[in-house]
Each structure stands twice: as structure tokens, then as C-alpha cells.
Amino acid sequence: ASDVEALTKNPQNWAMQAGGMANQRYSELKQINKDNAKTLQVAWTFSTGVLRGHEGGPLVIGDTMYVHSPFPNNVFAINLEDQSIKWKYEPKQDPAVIPVMCCDTVSRGVAYSDGKIFLQQADTTLVALDAKTGREIWKVVTGNPKVGETATNAPHIFKDKVITGISGGEFGVRGRITAFDMNTGKELWKAFSTGPDTDMRINPATTMTWTDGKMAPVGKDSSLKTWKGDQWKIGGGTTWGWYSYDPATNLMYYGTGNPSTWNPRQRPGDNKWSMTIFARDLDTGEAKWVYQMTPHDEWDYDGVNEMILADVKVKGETRKALVHFDRNGFGYTLDRVTGALLVAQKFDPVVNWASSIDMKSGRPIVNAKYSTDKNGPDVNSKGICPSALGTKDQQPASYSPKTGLFYVPTNHVCMDYEPFASEYVAGQPYVGATLSMYPAPTSHGGMGNFIAWDAGTGKIVWSKPEKFSVWSGALSTAGDVVFYGTLEGYIKAVDNNGKELWKFKTPSGIIGNVNTWEYKGRQYIGVLSGIGGWAGIGLAAGLTKSTDGLGAVGGYKDLAKYTNLGGTLTVFAL
């Protein structure tokens, strides 16, 4: 088994992108605390030499940091003693992959295990490097960019496996995850999101789902029955988010993305298992349970956002929970062992496409006024909240076991959505909708909030307004400080009540995730800046027409007044 599990238990390291396998993004370090955070200063900086959106963050293991960049996905090993570069890895990739990446040329970072660094390149090549030298140990190709298959997710190491996903829901790609032997790169299993039961590693009799107020077997052909003809073959359900793993049950968790195309009229049915949380046995890949958040998506509410594993008190009882802040604006708490639905509530009150989640069927109660299918193709459905960016997109939340609260970066944006007929051509966009996005119509006028959430009751505890969406990942710490970044480029520290303690303007907008480590007795905070991602696609790709970038360009046009391109890691200490 991998040494990374033990490495994550020492808070001096930041050995996985999320800090640990439960996706909590929490650190036990407390040298930096709510009283002294206001004195944080820059310790050192590092330029990646790459423009466009910088997601994810660096890993720290012992005296070495590993920093990655967006396409062309360069990796640097940095000596923490003197910040010198130990080695640099520069993959050669065909730039033809760039135009088939939907939402900027982002990469959510590298993984570490047993002396190896794992890099998921945009062109779908998965590489294992020698962590000491940067030399290639093995590499495998996991998809085909010519049919729109790309990769932006971080590889995840669980036990002895490296797991990776695929992007391309806007190109009719058929989503799946694949597990490889971390030592050799040999494929161990693959599990699709749609299609025949065997392809999905679904057992009709033992794979369970929430049905009529209890868990029940999914039954035969649970996906095939919910698609017309062969549409599941180009049906999306990609897997570009953050995965988690519970060693106690040997289950791994992840979500699937939107069904293709965005024109819902072209794909009648529930489109299973797009928009779904999967719990899979790590050894066999077999699905233990599934839960579909948004059946027959009509808004592009991908279900890929991170699954955070935590013990949560629900109705007086402590549950082994999975907490998930979905694009569709509902915060879900499920029993992670059985898959039972416990809580589902809006984490932004402006959410209007559904009034609530029916706790018996687990299905959203859709508001007909905002049904882009009922209103019909070539009709512009207006005022839908949230926008296709969701109340939260890829930006991961943090959970503090100390406060029992979840700290969630959110979007506060609504949209108009007009579906149109779209024909599938391999490697061409298969989108079928025109979108405009704008701030949600509420008093503070901003496009984002940073919130604290009680997952046991499904309630917002506090909400801190932001001018733009909070597109960076959060970090909470035992020092009672919570960190996040903003699209204008501020890294901010707040206390457990959301009171701002400190901020610093980094060289570019922040869509990376804040992390922390300790070296020679000193605690550091690090964050990548570099504007881009879907929200920053206008600046990143030089687009100006408001409906370009799948509607994000118009929504975020004011960003150009606050920030500019450029990838930099900024490191802070007291």
C-alpha cells in the first residue's frame, strides 16, 4: 500500500491535493492563528512561466515541494531549503488539445506516492515520475483528444492504485474512471458512467440506490433504460472532479458530470448515471451505491464536485457521512456506508430551478418556469438560479473537525439558457445551448459568497459576500483561521465567524487552492494565482463576446479591471 496515507497524517506535509483522503482540506497546524494572522508576510514566490488558469496547488513532502502548471503541464521540484529547482519536467504535448478543453487549460495538480510523482496531462497521458530526479518511470494514454477526450483532474492515489478520470462532457465523451497499478501503470479496472451494467461495474442486485425512502437494488439496465437508443454512447457523465476514499470501508467516492448535449429535448429520460455520486469498492471497481442529484439535467449542473467524508451529527445521531455541495445549489449529506439520503438543502437561498429535494424519492422538485426542456428548444428561459457554473463549481470546500463546520466557496450567479438542436460530430463541440450569466439579484450585488455550512441541519451559519465568485479552494486550520482566494487576486484569512483578519493581493486572480505545511519549525501558507478556469476564460483565452466561453465571458467582464494573466506561487509565513 501507498506511503501517502501515513504522510498525510503528519501535518508538516501537504502530501495530497486535498491534504488527505477524506477531502477535508484541514490542517492541524496552529502556529498561524486568529490573533497573529494579520501579520502574515510574503516569504517567497515562484513563477511557473505559464499564463492561463492555475488550479490545484503544490504538494509538500519533507524538504521538497512539487509545483505543476496548466498546459503544457510542467512540473517543478523545489528544494525548500533555498527554493532552488531540483528538477523540472516538461512534457511534449500536441497543442491541438487546447481547443477541445471546455473551460480553460487547467490542471488540478499532481499526486505523490512511494517516491513517485503522478501527472495527468491534458492530452490524457498519465505519467509516473521519479520524485528524486523527475525521470519518467511509466506512462499510459487514457483517452483520445481527437474525439474531445482531455483531462484536467488530479490523479488520486488510494492504497496501491492511481485513479484518473476524463473530461469532455461538452464533446459527447463517454465518462469513466480508470484504476492503474501505481508501480507499473498496468490497468486494473475501468468503470463507465453510462451504458450496460457490466461496463459500469454495476451489479443489478447489489448496487443500491435511494428509492422510496430506503436503499434498494438499482435493477437491471438501470442506465440503458434512461436513454433513447444508443445516446448513452455519446452521453457525457465525465469525471473531472475530486475523489475521496474511506480506508474503513474500502470505498472510493466521486461524481459524474453533465449528460451530453446541453439541449435536454434531444435526450429524453433520466440519463443515468450522469450527475451521480458513485461509491465504488476500490479493489474491484464495483459500485456499492449510486445517487443521482439531477436526473435529466436541463442546466449543466455537473455532479463532479468533491465528496467530503466526515462524521456529522444528524437528528442527534453521529453518522459516517459524505457531504457534497452540488452545482445544482443543494448541499447533500448522505450516509457514506449505505448511501442513504440524510439532508438536502439549498446552500444559496436564490436557487430557484427546484423548490426542494423530495426526501422520499431523492429527486428535485423542478420549478416548471425554469425547465429549459418544458419551455422548449429555441426558447430563452430567463432568470434561472444558479447559472450553469452552479452555486459551486470545481473550487473545493473545507471541513474543520474542530468547529464541525464546512467552509464553502460559492458562486452567486444566475442565467438565461436557450437550448438549440446540436448534431454530434466526433471532436466537435456538442453543446446545444446559448447562455448569458449575471449576478444573482440580491442586495449585496456580488457574484459570490464564502459561507459556513452546518451539514447536520442543512443550514448556512454565516455568509461573507464577495464581488466575484469564490473560485479558489478553501483551507481550515487548527489555528481557527480559514483561508480562501478571490478572482481579483486576494488571498484572505477569516476567523471561524467569517470575520476578515487579513488579505494580500497576489499577482493574478486566484483559482488555485490554499494549502499549508511546516518546514524547520515554521508554518507556511501557499497559493497559486493565475486567472482562468471557466469564470476567468475571457481573460485566459482572450475572448470578448458576452456569450463566448459558454456564457461566462459576459458575466465576468469586469474582472479585467482588477487582474491580469500570469502563474505565480506565493508563500506566506509570520
Binding region for ligand PQQ (CB under 6 A): 55, 102-104, 106, 152, 167-170, 238, 240, 257-258, 302, 389, 393-394, 533-534
Rounded least distance, CB 566 to ligand PQQ, Å: 17
Rounded least distance, CB 537 to ligand PQQ, Å: 8
Sign of CA dihedral 537, 489, 492, 501: negative
Q: By Cβ distance, which residue is nearest to ligand PQQ?
A: 169
Rounded least distance, CB 535 to ligand PQQ, Å: 6
Residue-wise over 491-506: b if at least 16 C-beta within 10 A, else e? bbbbbbebeebbebeb
Please report where in the chains the cell 469564490 appears, as a residue: 470
Cβ pair 8, 19 in contact under 8 A: yes
C-alpha cell at 141: 494514454
Closest by CA to 171, choosing from 149, 193, 152, 191, is 149
In the bound state with ligand PQQ, the residue whose beta carbon lies nearer, of 195 and 458, is 195
Sign of CA dihedral 10, 14, 15, 19: positive
In the bound state with ligand PQQ, the residue whose beta carbon lies nearer, of 257 and 489, is 257
C-alpha cell at 165: 478520470
Rounded least distance, CB 116 to ligand PQQ, Å: 24
In the bound state with ligand PQQ, the residue whose beta carbon lies nearer, of 122 and 366, is 122
In the bound state with ligand PQQ, the residue whose beta carbon lies nearer, of 260 and 400, is 260
Rounded least distance, CB 191 to ligand PQQ, Å: 16
In the bound state with ligand PQQ, the residue whose beta carbon lies nearer, of 259 and 458, is 259
Cβ pair 69, 107 in contact under 8 A: yes
- Rounded Cα distance, 283 and 107, in Å: 27
In the bound state with ligand PQQ, the residue whose beta carbon lies nearer, of 240 and 406, is 240
Rounded least distance, CB 304 to ligand PQQ, Å: 7
In the bound state with ligand PQQ, the residue whose beta carbon lies nearer, of 102 and 119, is 102
H runs (alpha helix) in 286-351: none
H runs (alpha helix) in 417-548: 537-541
Residue-wise over 30-50: b if at least 16 C-beta within 10 A, else e? ebbbbeebeebeebeebebeb
Rounded least distance, CB 64 to ligand PQQ, Å: 27
**Torsion over CA of 525, 531, 536 and 541, rounded to 10 degrees?**
-150
Cβ pair 261, 173 in contact under 8 A: no
- CA dist 417 to 91, 218, 441, 542, Å? 39, 32, 17, 23
Rounded least distance, CB 509 to ligand PQQ, Å: 12
Active-site residue, selected from the candidate residues 246, 270, 297, 300:
300
- CA dist 387 to 299, 328, 329, 552, 556, Å? 8, 9, 10, 10, 13
> Strand locations in 74-211, DSSP E?
75-79, 85-89, 111-113, 116-120, 125-130, 136-141, 156-158, 161-164, 176-181, 187-192, 208-211
Cβ pair 572, 40 in contact under 8 A: yes
- Rounded Cα distance, 568 and 523, in Å: 20
| Known active-site residue 130 | no
Give catalytic residue positions: 300
